[in-house]
A and B are shown apart, each in its own frame.
Chain A
Amino acid sequence: MEPLIAIAIWALVSASVWLMLSGTMLRYLFGLILISNAANLVIFTSGRLTEGAPPLIPGSESAPLTVVANALPQALVLTAIVIGFGLFAFALVLIFRAWTELKTLEHDEMRLAEPREDGK
């Protein structure tokens, strides 16, 4: 099903770039969530897809007997999901705090550190 996943990845990446280019922090955050998913799928798919065969070793053996799914990208993706969640949680809190302090979610209007040169 790799080509099908590729279509999903195409849509995910395009959508997340579109959202991350938005002027609103909240849409940016949505883009961040989607691009994490896209990245995980890219890594997962690059290791080839094997349906219905988790990388487990049967109780009586010391190695898998049949072809099982590639364990390496799975380990990588697991790590990536958790890290992505950490990033998301921090970004969310940052946006929340920015809103409570600055009363705006438009990042062009967040000018505390770099005030407009024309003084507006």
Chain B
Amino acid sequence: MSAAASSDAPGNGWTGIAPVLLSAALFAWFLSLGPQVAAGETLRLAVPWVPSLGLELAFAIDGLALAFALMISGIGIAVMLHAHFYLRGDRHFGRFLLFMMSFMLSMLGLVLADDLILLFVFWELTTITSYLLIGYGHDSAKSRRSALQALFVTGAGGLAFLAGAILIGIATGSTSISELLAGDGLTDHALYLPILILVLAGAFTKSAQYPFHFWLPNAMAAPTPVSAFLHSATMVKAGVYLMARLHPALSGTDVWFWALTIAGAVTAVLASLLALRQTDLKQALAYTTLMALGTLTLLLGQSTGYAITAFATFLIVHALYKAALFLLVANIDHGTGTRDATLLGGLGRAMPFTALAAMLSALSMAGLPPFLGFIGKELMYAGVENAPTWPEFIGASLVLANALMVAVAAVVAFKPFWRPPGGPLPAEPHEAPWGMWAGPLVLAILATVLGIFPAVVQSLVVTPTVDSLLQDPAEAKELKLWAGVNLALILSGVTVGLGLLIYLLHQPLRRMIARIDEATFSLDGNWDRFLDGLIGLATWQTRVLQNGRLKSYMSITFLTLLVAMAAPMIVYGVWEIPTSLDAPNWIEAAIVLLILAGIALVILTSSRIAAIAGLGVVGVSVALVFIINGAPDVAITQLLVETLVVVLVAVAMLRLPFLTPERRPATDALLALGVGTVVTLTLFAVLAAPIDRRLTDFFELASYTEAYGRNIVNVILVDFRALDTFGEIAVVAVAALSAVALLRGVRGGGK
């Protein structure tokens, strides 16, 4: 991000400090709730929202929610402070702050929501703010692509989650999370499998589990404070949060275990390998975030005290070191102008505070004592011993992923500071302003201090979280640095040894992984093809449906009419065909024969005059029908209009070309006869049903008594329904005006 530019640019004033203070205030408030929650209480707040749907703005703070809330607001302090300096003088800084604060509040809403629908609303808000923040550098096509990709992938997952939430609502009769967790769980319900698939689809896309992981590294197009906050410490953990939140209701089955274990293990190992492949420090960190998300998912697959304790611990550990490292990479970028691991080196002296913070964070990431990372890793390994099935698979995945973490930690935080540079740097290295290293340094020191005094984390976060997930605080294992010589310690030793070996060999390994990576299928590589395909499909569909041909539109319209009228008749079996005809008198038969003859003339002739004559015959015959059936007014109007129609057509014909015979497909005839038949059948059905004469009776009685008219039809038109008649006049007037406008421009004068 080039915005990390010259320090003589105008500052951001005090606006940038407000978010820091807000985050700090929120953090302090959540911290003050700690003792209550640690005592096993759940704090609730509910305001009616959509009472008709039983939806409430319900919030609940239990151990798990508080852990996340502390993480979000706490990391928020460091990130907001950093951004204030990092984006100094940025033109859109106000916009940036708006997005960041919206995100932070949405994320807090997400973890505090006590209703699945409410959770979904916040979930989508984080998706949208993430989209806006990834696309913050909107003048770059890459940013826009990445932003859209993240929006599509997590948005689609969000919809799946919504469907899952609705199914849960159907299954339990409520979308309240408290009620769900207080119930017997859903594992025996008939809808369990669809619910699980939909919820996991949402969680896996949000938390970037394989094979949906590709959007997260691309999301690094965002400014680095955003990456540190959203795409490492908080938003991507929303999926993990959802799985943890629903853990009591959904876990314990084989499907749950295998889905989470396999997705988590594959993501963790694959991501750590790809992390090693990166030369861009920020990209490398992005992949290690994937590794962490995979590990958290893997741990949630199990229900043992060890696994869940390790989950809670690693959640905090990762947030502390990863947010710090991201911010420090921004400092390196700021101080040297590059993030290329192959170039960077020897920064330790020029950037002492950054180097110190990076070293502490990296040691925690590598899982070395006495850092909190070490405790997290020991707990994971201890969990392996107690894993219900396939401990070898889980153990091997964890050891490999952690060893790679050691190597990546060295690449990111050791090599740039203490090894000689690999080439000339774009700028003379210099330390970042205090606000950019203070936050990460505090986070790094926390990772150290909390490692030495783990009881704070234990009582404030870990035990309450375990209580939330397993409903038993006694299941929480003790966080301690020294647990004696056991399997976990041996695995730790193996991990560190393997990690150092990988670090020493990381250059050739990087080339090898890059070759394999490029040769294999990736969803990201096919993303553009997928989008092109989608657009192609839309274009094709538009061309088929909106092809600009009147005949297609008419065919579709009539076909729809045919189906819409025929389907109910077939479904409800309404067939009313009159079986007996009253003996028709010769006048009626003659009129109908005239109509048929007129129609035949119009259809069959290519002579325009004959066609006009046919139309005239039909029009006059219809007027005759009106006359003999007691509708003289209608008949008069019909005669008048028919005369005008014939006259106008005849006049127009003087200037219009001759008709030519045309070849028509048989389907036209079929469609025409079909529509005629369903209309007639519908009329029969109407005639067979009893008529409702209430309105007619009203008009007959009220016509004279209320409107003083003896011609009931006229009274209806000019009195009872006068407004309709006025509308009708307006329509005719508009038609006449339009006709005049159309005729005005005709060459050689109008009619």
CB-CB nearest in chain A for B737: A90
Interface hits, A1-45 → B, CB 8 Å:
1-15, 17-24, 26-30, 33-34, 37-38, 40-42, 44-45
Separation in Å of the A21 CB from the closest CB of chain B? 5
Contact indicator B712/A57 (Cβ below 8 Å)? yes
Do B675 and A93 touch (CB < 8 A)?
no
Select the residue from A14, A23, A50 with max chain B CB neighbours within 10 A.
A14
Distance from A111 Cβ to chain B, minimum over Cβ atoms (Å): 8
Instruction: Given A18-B672, A34-B618, decide whether A100 and B747 contact each other with a Cβ distance below 8 A.
Output: yes
Contacting pair A75 B721 (CB below 8 A): yes
User: Across the two chains, which residue of chain A brings its CB closest to B548?
Assistant: A114
A23 with B551, Cβ < 8 A, contacts A12-B618, A97-B742 known: yes
Q: Which residues, 92 to 115 on B, are CB-close (under 8 Å) to A?
A: none
> Quick check: B676 and A10 within 8 Å, CB to CB?
yes
- When the two chains form the complex, which single residue of A8, A30, A82 contacts B611, counting CB atoms closer than 8 Å? A30
A46 touches B742 (CB 8 A): no
Known: A41-B625, A46-B686. 4 other contacts (CB 8 A): A2-B578, A4-B584, A13-B676, A77-B634
Contact B664 A22 (CB under 8 A): yes
Interface bits A87-106 vs B (CB < 8 Å: 1, else 0): 11110111111011000010
The listed residue (B589, B630, B638, B739) touching A69 by CB distance below 8 A is: B630
Bound Cα distance A117, B694 (Å) = 57
Which residues from B are CB-within-8-Å of A113?
Answer: 548
What are 25 A-to-B residue pairs whose CB atoms are below 8 Å?
Answer: A1-B582, A1-B629, A6-B680, A8-B592, A8-B595, A10-B676, A11-B596, A13-B679, A15-B603, A17-B672, A21-B671, A34-B602, A44-B625, A49-B629, A51-B628, A58-B710, A68-B700, A74-B713, A75-B713, A79-B724, A81-B638, A90-B738, A96-B656, A96-B746, A114-B548
Interface string of B517-551 (1 = CB under 8 A from A): 00000000000000000000000000000001111
**By the criterion CB–CB under 8 Å, are A78 and B735 in contact?**
no
Q: Please classify how large the interface on chain B is, using the bins under 10, 10 to 19, 20 to 34, 35 or more.
A: 35 or more
Taking a contact as CB atoms under 8 Å apart, the answer to whether B717 and A78 are in contact is yes
Cα of A87 to Cα of B645 in the assembled complex, Å: 11
Q: Which residue of A lies closest to B543 (CB)?
A: A117
B701-751 with Cβ < 8 A to chain A:
701, 703-705, 710-713, 716-717, 721, 724-725, 728, 731-732, 734-736, 738-739, 742-743, 745-747
Of B551, B581, B699, B739, the contact of A90 (CB 8 Å cutoff) = B739
CB nearest neighbor in A for B665:
A21
The yes or no answer to B294 lying at the interface (CB within 8 A) is no
Question: Which residues of chain A are near B252, meaning CB under 8 Å?
Answer: none
Chain A: interface size category: 35 or more
Tell whether A78 pairs with B615 under 8 Å between CB atoms, given A11-B599, A83-B728, A105-B656: no
Quick one: which of A14, A77, A86 contacts B731, CB cutoff 8 A? A86
Say if the beta carbon of A52 comes within 8 Å of chain B: yes
Contact (A55, B659) CB under 8 Å given A5-B592, A11-B599, A108-B551: no
Q: Which residues of B contact A47 (CB under 8 A)?
A: 691, 696
Residues of A within 8 A of B (CB): 1-15, 17-24, 26-30, 33-34, 37-38, 40-42, 44-59, 61-64, 68-72, 74-75, 77-79, 81-90, 92-97, 99-100, 105, 107-108, 111, 113-114
Distance (whole angstroms) from the CB of A107 to the closest CB of chain B: 5
Residue in chain B with minimal CB distance to A111: B548
Cβ contact of A51, chosen from B630, B652, B734, cutoff 8 A: B630
Asked whether B743 lies within 8 Å of A62 as measured between CB atoms, the reply is no
Task: Return chain A residues, CB-CB under 8 Å to B626.
Answer: 44, 77
Residues of B within 8 A of A14 (CB): 672-673, 675-677
B396 within 8 A of A: no
Do A21 and B630 have beta carbons less than 8 Å apart? no
B695 at the A/B interface (Cβ < 8 Å)?
yes
